[in-house]
Amino acid sequence: MYSRQRGLRWCEPALFVVEPTKYRQGFITTGITGNYSIILQINRPYITRLSYKLFNMLSISAALSLLSMVPAIRASPVQRCTGTISSLGDVADAVKCTTINIESFTVPAGETFSISAPDGATINVKGQVTFGVKAWSGPLFELSGKGITFNGNGYTFNGQGQEYWDGLGSSGSTKPHPMMKIKSSGTFTNLIVKNSPQQCFSIGNDATLTISKVIVDNSDGNNSNSKSGGKPAGHNTDGFDVSASDVTIEDSTVSNQDDCIAINKGSNIIFKGNSCTGGHGISIGSISSGVTVSSVQILNNVVKNNQNGLRIKTDASATGSTVSGVTYSGNTVTGATKYGVIIDQSYPSTLGTPGKNVKISDITFSGTNTVSVASGAKEVEVNCGDCSGTWNWSGLKVSGGSAGSSNYKSISGFSI
């Protein structure tokens, strides 16, 4: 707020009475004392005049009550302007605007590119963003705000993971993770994320979020380097780690060395029409203590040359958690090298002694799910500690390896 002359001299609210007056302008000037004036911006088609009255005409409580009638007055309103980010120093001013353009630049090593966008903002990527290299915890990028429209326009965020990778992931040298921390709601689309040092996306939105047409490309991590001892250099490079509700991830591609998606908690989660190559497959979990996963749909995805195709894993030591209402439909798995479908309650062991304090129920294969594994792999393994209900698996077709086994007998429409 500004005055007509040398600045605003603030008066006690008790000195004002309210006189509604309609104007065409978006701003109004009202007298206070002498030559001083106040300009108020409000989000209505009318504005309100505040007139000075002698203090003895109104009690403090009455004046405050009248002042409360003035709607939606903000000292620092968001502006309908376009802000441009071409360095971290531009962010503070850019986020005052409802349109934010990100130009090509390099984020200094050891710093987070953080955007706390105004509600309803549109963010457009206009060039490649490269993140400097430093051993630190991260994250590299963070986005928050409600109802945000984020459009990557096919540009790349490059995490330079090849400079960190040592074949050990989180067990090796310090690497910034996640690369992309998304806390916003709205839409997030059409971005390439290349060479994340460790986990790529962490999803923690507090309202509905749809992610689409995103490419996670950690394929360079399939090669060894001087630090990886002949093993693939990339490790723990999860595509999407989801710990939120009301999330849809669709029409996206992940090439990596860990889970394509790991759903750790949340409800109303849809993963559909995606492609997963070279990693550990589509996973729910690992499930730790005190969390709920429910109403999950895994639909029409292609999982190629992963260790696992479709997996649910719960910690053997976890307590007080539930996994329920998971539906697989229309998925195609080819070339799985370990397991086509695996449900295992003994994590971090594989097919060890299952824990008994995480409840799994209502796991369904509907439509047609085609799972083909490598010759030395298991088609299906079910290792339950606390599973319940009858599971309809009539929509599952498997081939290519040995059958596997199940210690849970209430599966209908499919035999192991």
Please give the full DSSP string across 85-108, using - where no structure is assigned: ESSGGGHHHHTTEEEEEE-SEEEP
pLDDT tens digits for 392-410?
999 999 999 999 999 999 9
Average pLDDT over residues 283-290: 99
How far is the C-alpha of 194 from the C-alpha of 370, rounded, in Å? Answer: 30
What would the CATH number be for the domain defined by 117-412? Answer: 2.160.20.10
Dump pLDDT digits (tens) for 356-395. Answer: 999 999 999 999 999 999 999 999 999 999 999 999 999 9
pLDDT in tens, 20-65: 333 333 333 333 333 333 333 333 333 333 333 333 333 444 444 4
Average pLDDT, the chain: 87
pLDDT in tens, 194-235: 999 999 999 999 999 999 999 999 999 999 999 999 999 999
DSSP-based three-state secondary structure for 167: coil
Rg, C-alpha atoms of the chain? 28
CB atoms closer than 10 angstroms to residue 43: 11
Q: State the Cα angle at 389 between 387 and 395, rounded to 5°.
A: 100
3-state secondary structure of 326: strand
For 27-31, the CB contacts below 8 A with 24+ separation are: 29/4
Hey, where are the domains in the chain?
13-67, 117-412
Q: Quick check: 322 pLDDT over 50?
A: yes
Which tokens go with 81?
């302007």
Sign of CA dihedral 125, 126, 128, 130: negative
Average pLDDT over residues 342-349: 99
pLDDT at 61: 45
Where in the sequence numbering do the catalytic residues fall?
280
| Chain segment 295-321, per-residue pLDDT in tens | 999 999 999 999 999 999 999 999 999
Work out the angle at residue 75's Cα, subtended by the Cα atoms of residues 70 and 76, and round it to the nearest 5 degrees.
135
- Chain segment 80-111, per-residue pLDDT in tens: 999 999 999 999 999 999 999 999 999 999 99
Among 232, 235, 191, 229, smallest CA distance to 211 is for 191
Band (77; pLDDT cuts 50, 70, 90): low
Q: How far is CA 379 from the centre of its chain?
A: 32
- Please tell me the distance from the alpha carbon of residue 354 to that of residue 284, in angstroms, as a whole number: 16
Q: pLDDT tier at 78 (50, 70, 90 boundaries)?
A: confident
The letter for the amino acid at 217 is D
Residue 61 is inside which H or E element, if any?
helix 60-67
115-162 confidence digits (pLDDT tens):
999 999 999 999 999 999 999 999 999 999 999 999 999 999 999 999
DSSP annotation string for 272-295: ES-EEESSS-EEEEEE-TT-EEEE
Among candidate residues 335, 345, 324, the one with its CA nearest the CA of residue 302: 335
